[in-house]
Amino acid sequence: MKTLCVLGAGTIGSFLVKAGLSQGYRVIATGRSERTLLRVKSLGVEATNDNAYAVRDSEIVLISVKPQHFPELATSIPRGLWKGKLVISVMAGVRLDTLRKVMVDAQVFRAMPNVNAVVNMSTTAITGEGPGRELVDSLFRSIGVTYWVNEDMMDVWTALVGSGPAFVSEIVDGLVLGAVSSGMPRDLAYSAVLDVLKGTAENLKNHKGHPVEVRDNVTTPAGTTIRGLKAMEERGVKAALIETVESSSRRASELGKLIDERIRRELLGDS
């Protein structure tokens, strides 16, 4: 039985612990606080605050710490321990090239799941090459769907998919409040909107065409839908959504560069 360790068993890290268990691995997880270690133990896996021990005893290493904590984590692990390991980073912004320079002779991948892993519906982007590709894909498919992308797409992915559940939740709340303002009880409106969201997503998947075609199927002359769409256009809703993703993507890129430069400076001595 192979051993998988999760360095940093926070929110996403806990999902990865469960993914490892579902794939039949022995799992070791690390945490910075006693509270995290107790929560990890409750999942039925070994918990420790010794990162070097966890890496030494594992074939597969998942790094799920906050990027700003990575220099501290990396310095706690002897460089030679990375040799021959399959390493998967879910840290935003830390580039493959940087990871490979820190983890000499390791096979390195990056992944970006999202919080929908809590219901096994994460949408995960993965980048990297090597013989461990199938194993990495299988691990993340156990918590949802996977997409293999070029690394230059990871910042946009972070904005669209990593932050996406927050954006969609905000839209859902706006629709619900509109129904409440029009006289519908909130609980009923909330349940109905979630059903509409789920049904529309399935409809769009099956349709396989442009989403405006589904929109136009609902829109009749002088009807309720066109009146609502007109209000959305007047308020610039679509433009706002475009800017939301663009702005979030720019920020992901900015943070990524800052984090990557700091790691290169502190760990690799780059000027």
For the chain, what percent of residues have pLDDT higher than 90? 76
User: What is the structure's pLDDT at 206?
Assistant: 94
What is the set of domains in the chain, with CATH numbers?
Answer: 3-151 (3.40.50.720), 164-248 (1.10.3730.10)
Q: Is the pLDDT confidence value at 85 over 70?
A: yes
Please tell me whether residue 107 adopts helix, strand or coil conformation: strand
Are the beta carbons of 108 and 62 closer than 8 angstroms? no
Residue with tokens 């005893």: 57
Tokens representing 231?
A: 């209000």
User: What is the structure's pLDDT at 172?
Assistant: 98
User: What is the structure's pLDDT at 87?
Assistant: 97
Are the beta carbons of 46 and 21 closer than 8 angstroms? no
pLDDT in tens, 235-256: 999 999 999 999 999 998 998 8
User: What is the structure's pLDDT at 88?
Assistant: 97
User: What is the structure's pLDDT at 32?
Assistant: 83
Determine the angle formed by the axes of helices 237-263 and 164-181, rounding to 10 degrees: 150
User: What is the structure's pLDDT at 263?
Assistant: 83
User: What is the structure's pLDDT at 68?
Assistant: 85
Nearest alpha-carbon partner for 10 in 127, 119, 99, 90: 90
The band of 260, judged by pLDDT with boundaries at 50, 70 and 90, is confident
Nearest alpha-carbon partner for 175 in 243, 219, 231: 231
Could you tell me the end-to-end alpha-carbon distance of the chain, in angstroms, rounded to an integer?
43
Q: If 0-12 CB within 10 Å is exposed, 13-18 middle and 19+ buried, where does residue 240 land? A: exposed
Q: If 0-12 CB within 10 Å is exposed, 13-18 middle and 19+ buried, where does residue 230 land? A: exposed
Are the beta carbons of 56 and 1 closer than 8 angstroms? no
User: What is the structure's pLDDT at 37?
Assistant: 86
Structure letter (DSSP) for residue 222: T
Mean pLDDT of 103-130: 95
Q: Is the pLDDT confidence value at 136 over 70?
A: yes
Mean pLDDT of 130-142: 95
Mean pLDDT of 46-58: 93
Mean pLDDT of 143-153: 96
Taking the C-alpha atoms of residue 128 and residue 113, their distance in angstroms, rounded to an integer, is: 15
Count of all residues that appear for the chain in the document = 271
Q: Is the pLDDT confidence value at 105 over 80?
A: yes
Q: Is the pLDDT confidence value at 270 over 80?
A: no
User: What is the structure's pLDDT at 271?
Assistant: 62
241 DSSP β-pair partners? none
Q: Is the pLDDT confidence value at 262 over 90?
A: no
User: What is the structure's pLDDT at 12?
Assistant: 87
- The per-residue DSSP string of 134-150 comes to HHHHHHHHTTEEEEE--
Q: What angle do CA 197, 123, 130 make, to 5 degrees?
A: 165
pLDDT in tens, 3-45: 999 999 888 888 899 999 999 999 999 988 888 888 888 888 9
**Mean pLDDT of the chain, nearest integer:** 93
Are the beta carbons of 70 and 95 closer than 8 angstroms? no
Are the beta carbons of 83 and 22 closer than 8 angstroms? no
Is the pTM higher than 0.85?
A: yes
For the chain, what percent of residues have pLDDT higher than 70? 100
The band of 117, judged by pLDDT with boundaries at 50, 70 and 90, is very high
